[in-house]
Amino acid sequence: EQQVNPFRTDISETADGYKLEADLPGFCKEDIHIDIDDDILTIKAEHTDSKDESGDKNSYIRRERYYGAYTRSFNVSEIDAEGIKAAYENGVLTLTMPKKAPVKPESKHLKIE
């Protein structure tokens, strides 16, 4: 059974939204999946155990690198989902998330017939 681990995340407020930074060292961009479903943003990062070129998986003298799945979910109901940008550099995933524009009641001018 695969164990799912959380990962460390910082969320800060910016002038026009939020910035989320997640520690995901040792992943390739292709290993990280970001999905938004019903105002819930889920970040999932998964290490797959690659086949060792030497052929014998038990030839390790010491093996500390962990292969598994990491996942976190966040409520993004106040976020403009279309405007979210993601970048991954030096083991840190950064999401720039703009706030939804406040909905202003429409004012109408009626013309007198």
Q: What are the Cα distances from residue 32, in Å, to 14, 29, 50, 63, 73?
A: 24, 6, 16, 23, 13
d(CA 69, CA 2): 7
pLDDT tens digits, 38-68:
999 999 998 765 544 445 556 777 766 666 7
Pairing of strands 4-5, 69-75: parallel
Each residue's pLDDT tens digit, 28-39: 899 999 999 999
Q: Which region, left, alpha or beta, applies to residue 15 given φ > 0 means left and ψ of -120 to 50 means alpha? A: alpha
Task: Evaluate if pTM is beyond 0.85.
Answer: no
